[in-house]
Amino acid sequence: MDMDKLVSLCKRRGFIFPSSEIYGGINGFWDYGPLGVELKRNIKDAWWRDTITSRDDVVGIDCSIIMHPKVWEASGHIGGFSDPMADCRECKGRFRADQLTYIRFDLAKDDSAETKPKTIYFFGSGNAVEVAEQNAKKIGKLQSSIKPGETLNRTDGDYTTLDTEAKTLFHCPTCGKAGTLTEPRNFNLMFESHAGAIADEANKVYLRPETAQGIFANFKNVVDTSRTKIPFGIAQVGKSFRNEINPRNFIFRSREFEQMELEFFCHPDQAAEWYAYWRKARFQWYIDHGIRSDKLRLRDHDPDELAFYSTATADIEYAFPFGISELEGIAHRGDYDLGQHQQFSGKDLSYFDEERWERDKPAMGMTSFKEYLKKNEGAEKPGYPYQYLPHVIEPSAGADRATLAFLCEAYQEDEVGGELRTVLKFHPRLAPIKAAVFPLVKKDGMPEKAEAIYRELKRHFNVFFDEKGAIGRRYRRQDEAGTPFGITVDGQSLTDDTVTFRDRDSCKQWRVPAAGAVQALRDLLEGKPIPGAESPATEIEESSN
């Protein structure tokens, strides 16, 4: 699948637009158009329903984007959520020093090359590699070039550790000048703002870089106000912001994006089991929603990739046209987050398992929990196993990355009725429009009948009405929008009050009584089989003319 084709279809059909396009766009920000917003909403709704409302053990929450700055100290985002960046003093370009690719060009020996270095070096990654090549050509005639892939980490050591003299050898990939890159400095990825009228340090706030911390900060509130008992989860869907240095690959890495995060709190003894459960369940979720190809993968982190507090993490990855990349991470986070917030806020965030205590205390001959604590005085966790900081399993997904993966997986080009078509084969649950209603021709009372059916369907589903142009062309437009079913009022409809249903993927057609259209569509959307799915039939000509 060609990424450029998908991006252009998304623009042309109103799925995704560059943000502020009339002003030339803004790097790392995207807008969802009428079809895109429905698609993303359906993904988030499916996640919400499957993760929260269809279960007994997960509740939802919606936290503010701006939180107390101490939250980000506790979470480690103020101290650690940063990348080492090197700036070009000349052109003001900015590069990630730990990910810079080492690009070497050998210049041909000619008269003009006498005074020039024989070999020149650049730093760069992604597009910078091509720009570097153009700049190298300006400096001299290229004899050979070694690009990209050799990172300094593997060859000469990290850029950050090179001595000053070595750094002067390198050229800026963007402007081509030598020795212009600064010492790398840590650049925090959080967007800053100020709450209140005075823009000073005391009023500094951050746009949240993840939704998870709102959940941890509200753990006690939820336990105290709802009947949640461990094991249980708190989930949130919402915007997050990261000042990514290199936003790229369409909506894959942007600076404003949406996350769908679940923090599942459990007893430390059960954490491994719950980790295994969510790792499997989340992977299956993508398969159930149409990512059936081997492009979907589940990759367990190697021990040296794990954060110090994590005993296991797995990434759900998708083979996008630009490479295999993460859609969602499932992390066993231990009690790290609640422990940090307990320490920074000074509030007790432990959980007391009253049921277990009530069950066990008679056998211990105790009447109060104070007695139990006294008995264990001096122990590392005197209240254990009744009072403890729960362990957390965190499945953390990106709504935009999921949208992109569903788009990539759905995109197909095939041939119908001798014509090439582009079709988005979305799972019906995710499809922005569930069905389109068409009068075959714009006469003989067909438009009126079709509109009446459309109005009835519209009360239940997001459906679309289209009476303009050849029927084949109207089908094609809906195929491209990913609409799973077409409903056509034709000549026969006027005599026997039936309509033709058409399936987007197989192009099969079958008749349904007009009065039963709502139920028929509901059945189809719920995955019931297409009537006569075995028999080959295309009754209404698919030609676009």
In the beta sheet, which residues pair with residue 388? 351
Min separation Cβ 38 and ligand GAP, Å: 20
The answer to whether residue 407 forms part of the interface with ligand GAP (CB under 6 A) is no
How many residues sit in the footprint of ligand GAP (CB under 6 A)? 18
The residue from 176, 231, 238, 398 that contacts ligand GAP (CB under 6 A) is 398
The residue from 44, 171, 220, 253 that contacts ligand GAP (CB under 6 A) is 253
The residue from 329, 432, 482, 484 that contacts ligand GAP (CB under 6 A) is 329
Count Cα neighbours of 359 within 13 Å in the Cβ-side half-sphere: 6
CA distance 108 to 111: 10
The residue from 52, 205, 397, 433 that contacts ligand GAP (CB under 6 A) is 397
The residue from 51, 125, 145, 254 that contacts ligand GAP (CB under 6 A) is 254
Q: For the segment 260-279, give every residue that binds ligand GAP (CB under 6 A).
A: 261
Judged by CB, which is closer to ligand GAP: 401, or 421? 401
Min separation Cβ 442 and ligand GAP, Å: 44
- Helical packing angle, 446-458 and 517-525, nearest 10°: 50
In the beta sheet, which residues pair with residue 260? 237, 397
The answer to whether residue 327 forms part of the interface with ligand GAP (CB under 6 A) is yes
Q: Which residues contact 244 (CB under 8 A, 6 or more apart)?
A: 28, 189, 253, 254, 255
Residue of this chain nearest to ligand GAP (CB atom): 398
The amino acid at residue 69 is P
Cβ(394)–Cβ(333) under 8 Å?
yes
The answer to whether residue 326 forms part of the interface with ligand GAP (CB under 6 A) is yes
Min separation Cβ 128 and ligand GAP, Å: 19
Interacting stretch for ligand GAP, rule CB under 6 A, among 72-80, 290-298, 323-331, 408-416?
Answer: 323-331
Q: How many CB atoms lie within 10 A of CB 337?
A: 24
Six-digit token pair at 437? 């209603």
What b/e string do you get for 311-328 counting C-beta neighbours within 10 Å, with b at 16 or more?
Answer: ebbbbbbbbbeeeebebb
Min separation Cβ 259 and ligand GAP, Å: 5
The total number of residues shown for the chain amounts to: 545
Min separation Cβ 272 and ligand GAP, Å: 20
The residue from 242, 341, 474, 504 that contacts ligand GAP (CB under 6 A) is 242
What is the Cα Rg of the chain in Å? 29
The residue from 128, 132, 212, 524 that contacts ligand GAP (CB under 6 A) is 212
Min separation Cβ 401 and ligand GAP, Å: 4
Min separation Cβ 225 and ligand GAP, Å: 23
What is the x/- site pattern for ligand GAP, positions 181-210, by CB under 6 A? -----------------------------x
The answer to whether residue 396 forms part of the interface with ligand GAP (CB under 6 A) is yes
DSSP per-residue string spanning 130-193: HHHHHHHHHHS-EEEEE-S--BTTTTT--GGGS-HHHHHTEEPTTT--BT-BPPPEEEE-S-EE
Residue 529's nearest CA partner among 503, 507, 511 is: 503
Min separation Cβ 253 and ligand GAP, Å: 4
Min separation Cβ 544 and ligand GAP, Å: 37
At residue 358, the 3 state secondary structure works out as: helix
The answer to whether residue 400 forms part of the interface with ligand GAP (CB under 6 A) is yes
Residue 82's nearest CA partner among 256, 249, 242, 258 is: 242
CA distance 477 to 479: 5
Where on the chain is the footprint of ligand GAP (CB under 6 A)?
A: 210, 212, 242, 244, 253-254, 257, 259, 261, 326-329, 396-398, 400-401
